[in-house]
Structure formats: C-alpha cells, structure tokens
Structure 1
Amino acid sequence: MTSPNHDLLTSQAHVWNHLYSYINSMSLKCAIQLGIPDAIDAHGGPMPLSRLSAALSVPPAKSDALRRLMRLLVHSKFFEKVNVSDSNEDAYVLTGASRLLLRRSTLNMAPLVLVVLDRISVDPWHGMGEWLRDGRASMFETEHGSSFWEYAEGSARLDGLFNEGMASDAGCVAGVLGRDGRRVFEGVGTVVDVGGGIGATARGFAAEFPGSEWVVLDLPRVVEGLEGSEKLRFVGGDMFESIPQADAVFLKWVLHDWSDEDCVKILKNCKEAISTKGGKVILVELVVEDREEDDKATETQLFFDLTMMAVINGKERNEKEWAKLFFTAGFGNYKITPVLGLRSVIEVFP
C-alpha cells in the first residue's frame, strides 16, 4: 500500500512532466536549426563536445549550455553519448532517429519538424480555449484569420517546408511498401495519386513497381511546370470535382485533412474513377486504436488527431469511423493492413 505522500508526489511529478514536455520538441527544433545531426555525420565518428561546439560556432562561454542540451537529446534517444579512449570529453554519435534528420538523407524529416514547430503552427495552441467557444473552423484560423492552406499559399517558406516534409515521408512509405506490402499493388496498372503534390510519392512507387503507371492529381498551381516521365504524368484538377479513371486511386494522408462530409464526397469520386472491374482505393492513414492505457503509439496518434483539429479542422479516425465513411460513400468492403508503424494501408473495394 502506498502512502498519501507517495501518491501526491507521483501526481506532482506527472504534472511537471507534462508541463515541461514541450522542451523536448523545442530542443529537437534547436538541434536541427544548429545543424547538430549534420555536424556529427560530417565528423565521421564519435564527436567530442569541443569539436561539436567549434563546428557549430558556439562560443566557449556557451559550451556548457550545449552540453546540457545534448544531455537531454541523448536522454530522448536522438544521440548517443560514448566514451573515447584518448579523451576525457563527452562524445556523441547518431542514432536511428537523428539519421532521419540529416540533410543528405532521402528520408529527411527535418523540414517536417520545422514546419510543425514553426511559430505559425505553434501559436494557435495558445488560443485553444478561445477556439472551443468561437465559431471558427480551426485554431489556426482563430489565430491567423485564414486557413492553413490559404496561409501556406501566401508563404513560400511555409509551403516549401510542408512540401519537403511530405516528400521525405513519401520515400519512407514507398520503400516500406516496396519491401513489405507489394501485394497491395499486384495487378494494378494505372494509379491516380490524389493530392500527390510535387510527385515524390508517385516517383517512389513508380521505381518500386515498374509495371505501374502513375498520374498525380493536384491543384493546378501545385503541378504547374512539373515534368513527368514515361511512367508519370501530372494533371491539374480538383478531387472534389472529379478524378481521372484508373485501376486504383491512391491517397496518402489526404482524408485526415477533411471533415466526414468532405471525405464522403472525395470517396464517391474515387469510386467513380475505379468503375472498371477489380478497381480499388488505397489509403495510407492512421487507424486510431483508442487504447486507454499509457501507450506511446496511441498517444502519438492522439497527438496527430489534435494537430489535425488545431491546424486544418481535420481528424484521425478509428476503424468504426473509417468503415462508416466507406459504406456511406457506397463501398462494399475494406481491408486494413498495419504495415506502416503508426499508420496503416487501407484497401477499399466497391
């Protein structure tokens, strides 16, 4: 039996942890802005603190501050501290997580980190209580007076970071499905990538599945001037109006941006596009597991859900919610394959 003091102090520690947990995010952002992962990578081995400080142009008076920052980043498993036989200094090496932050990496997640933690994205959270009482669609709109998409259209910096972040994720998805999910695209000839942006996903899949042909559908301003290839072409259009005919329609992280009503409209257009025998819709989305216990995967999914709510009035969905959308749009069956970590591949059949 625990004492009342133990329960009190445990609860206090719990509040403290959540109160200061934003420091993990801000420290990660700082590491990217300073270029810490790239500096360690360029060093080619365990990098002593003094050399890291010099490489980052950190003045000697701030070297201890850098050491303390690295201590937290090591605890958060972005770097590993190692012993170097000929030095008494702390030295650091990359981990799997920090390798995803390297500029040279085809899976570079740094742009996504920077756009999510940008002041433009973070400031709306300060008005969450105000937003819950007003009539605006999203916290972003309450803070900035326009939707995220409208704001990004007028900000080349924000739009560029967002597109780079989505492009890095495309490489990850294509690589994983190329190894562990090939059956999803078996027998599929032509695929329309709806909301495919600058074509990073389609290019990745065209390389992984040479028997397929890809059409990227996005707004005219997005695809204007983009060059395709024999297996890839770009089409300007609106998924709410119509989608080109194909064997399959592919949507990666698209439907979570939209309300249930809008999703049904998009899915109905998808159904018309795959009217040929054997057609299907392929989604890459979160399927929230709704676990009540302290599960990090579920917690991260719930973070995504509130981010969608805050920024674009979108939502993440559990299986029951996904099924309702599919059947309302006129589909007859679906299959969920949890092959992408926190996300799943969902095949939807007429």
Structure 2
Amino acid sequence: MAMQDEMVRAGTHIRNHMLNFINSSSLKCAVELGIPDVIHRHGGPITLEELVDALAINKAKADHLGRLMRLLTHSGFFVDAKIKDHDGYALGPPSCLLIKDHPFSLASFVLGATGPVFAGPWHHVSEWFHNNDSSPYQTAYGKTFWECASQDPEVNHHFNQAMARNSLLVMSLVRKYCRDVFEGLDSLVDVGGGTGMVARTFADEFPDMKCTVLDLPHVVAGLEGTKNLVYVGGSMFEVIPPAQAVFLKMMANFGGGERKLKEWVKIFNDAGFFDYKTTQVGLMSLIQLFP
C-alpha cells in the first residue's frame, strides 16, 4: 500500500509539471481576450453571461469560458462572487496588474513571455544541448534574438514594450525601498536601457542627475530625451558613456545567465570591484558594487 501511495504521488507530481503549461496558456488567453479589462470596466463582479456578452465571443462556447474562469479563479487571478442568485467573478489582486491601462500593467509582459518568441525556444532545448548555438532561440529560429529584433520591427516593438512595463514595476520598488542608493549621484548610465523607462524614472526622481540610456541603434532610434536624459546608440561591449554610476538590469534569457552569489562575486572581483551590498526587492536583488 505504501508503495502504491508513493507511485500515486509520483504520478501526480509528474502530471502537475507536465500540464503546467495550461496555467500560463490560460493566463495568456485571459489577457488576449481582455477579461481583466472587461471586469474592471464593469465596475464590480460580473456574471458569466455578462462576461460572454461583453467579450463578444461565440455564445456556444460559454461553458468553456466558465471552465477557463474556474481555472483562473483557482489560480488566484479572479475570485468567486455571488450576484443575486447567480455565480459571478471579480478581480483578484494579481489581475489588477493585467488591466492594460494600469500604470504598472504586466499585460504586455505576459503576452511576450507566453508567446512564440519566448516560449518557442523551450521546445528546442534538448536539441540545443547537442549543438554549438549560443542559445535555444538560435536553434529554433536560425538567428539570435538580437538579430531578429534588429530585423523585425514588430518583434523589437513588443519586446521593448514588455521590458518597459516590467521596468516600471521594478523601479517603483527600487524607488520605495532603495531610493537612498541613488541620492547624491550627479550622473548615471543605464546600460541596455531599452526605451528608457528606468532612466526616465531616475531623471524624474532626481532632476539634477544626468541620465544616459545606452542601447543598440535600432532600439533608441527616434527616441527623444529631456533636459537631463539622453539616448546613445551603441554596444556595451564596445564603449560605455562615462558616468558616476552604471546601472544594469541583468538578463537571464536569450543568451543571458542565472548565477549563484559566489559566481557573481567572482565576476565582481575580476572586474575590479572588491566590495558589494545587496538589497532584496521582492523576488529581485539590487546589487551595489564599489571599487
């Protein structure tokens, strides 16, 4: 009996991981349909019938929408709500960040992370382990992500939009918990700063700080700065504009790496930094390096 129980637990564990894509795919579907936006505009809990009408979907698939909502409710994105004698749904705390016009909306980030550009390469990881490609993205599409972004304006736009939205949320946390880190600086360069959402936050928060965004020419093309914010097209591997502080938000995908602290410390030391301080910000850490 004990062995049978263990087999059931093992099988359940495998199935949970094997089918976990259903959770992210359902979340993607909710954002694509605009379900959080509809409930938000409704001004309160909404019945399934009202949701079907507002989404203008095929009414014959109302039951399937109900299944989707039950799954997303179980995942915490929505909450059950009684409306007279009818079952209904209200926004859960996470779904507020899926409303497209929310100042810290992660809707575009969700669509990017669950779309083919990000998710597709994961189907080629085992193949990638056998070849010399720099990343699974290159194995999947025959070119690096950065080459694709430089050649495809749509990919470039959606990626930069997703990064900007994510950066807004990150910077709200940095501003709340780590503002003192940046007080007194007269200049800062954001390396790989994309469309400048992070640097623009610094520039607004510290009017006397000169902020520079360094990114590839196709990323910053056409972007206009302000009196204390400028854009520079170039590569971080060639030259970084001089500044009192250099800001990098490290990437873990598309050829980036995820490192343990001791691995980070070796990189710091090899680069000539011998002191550092870490500040936990949610699931992320702000690392300060000192020469």
TM-score (norm: length of structure 1): 0.80
For residue 344 of structure 1, the aligned residue among 252, 266, 285 is 285
Structure 1 counterpart of 2:149, one-letter code: A
Task: Verify: 1:134 aligned to 2:141, yes or no.
Answer: no
- Pick from 194, 203, 206 the counterpart of residue 206 of structure 1: 203
1:45-194 to 2 correspondences below 5 Å:
45-84=44-83, 86=84, 88-194=85-191
- Give the alignment partner of residue 244 of structure 2, picking from 225, 243, 247: 247
Q: For 2:123 and 2:168, how far apart are their aligned partners in 1?
A: 34
Quick one: distance in 2 between partners of 1:211 and 1:175? 20
Partner of 2:17: 18
Give the ranges of 4+ consecutive aligned residues of structure 1 lying more than 4 Å apart after TM superposition.
Answer: none
Tell me, yes or no, if structure 1 residue 323 matches structure 2 residue 265: yes
For 2:139 and 2:53, how far apart are their aligned partners in 1?
43
Alignment length (residue pairs): 291
Secondary structure of the equivalent of 2:276?
Answer: strand
**CA shift at 1:155, angstroms?**
2.2
CA contact (8 A) 1:115 1:158 kept: no
**What letter corresponds to residue 58 of structure 1 in structure 2?**
I
Distance in 1 (alpha carbons) for counterparts of 2:102 and 2:210: 26
Query: Cα offset for 1:132?
Result: 0.9
Cα distance in 2, alignment partners of residues 199 and 165 from structure 1: 12
Distance 1:157 1:346 in 2: 33
**Cα shift readout 1:66-114 (whole Å, capped 9, x = no counterpart):** 0000000001111111112x2x322111122111111111211111111
Distance 1:127 1:245 in 2: 40
Structure-2 change in CA distance of 1:25 and 1:184 (3 Å)? same
C-alpha distance after superposition, 1:207-258 (max 9, x if no partner): 22334221111122222221111121112222111212211111123xx35x
Contact 2:156 2:219 in 1 (8 A): no
Is contact 1:335-1:347 (8 Å) kept? yes
> Which position in structure 2 is the counterpart of 1:8?
7
Please state whether the residue corresponding to 1:100 is helix, strand or coil: helix
Q: Which residue in 1 is equivalent to 2:33?
A: 34
Q: CA deviation at 1:16?
A: 1.0
Alpha-carbon distance between aligned partners in 2 of 1:164 and 1:37, rounded to the nearest angstrom: 19
8 Å contact 1:114–1:161 — kept in the other structure?
no
Per-residue CA deviations over 1:144-190 (Å, capped at 9, x if unaligned) read 10001111222222221111111112211222122211111021111
User: Does the 8 Å CA contact 1:178/1:209 hold for their aligned counterparts?
Assistant: no
* 1-structure distance, mates of 2:170, 2:127: 37
Taking only aligned residues, the RMSD between alpha carbons, in angstroms, comes to 1.4
CA contact (8 A) 2:138 2:145 kept: yes
Aligned equivalents of 1:105 and 1:210: distance in 2?
25
Unaligned ranges ≥5, structure 2: none
- The residue identity in structure 2 corresponding to 1:330 is G
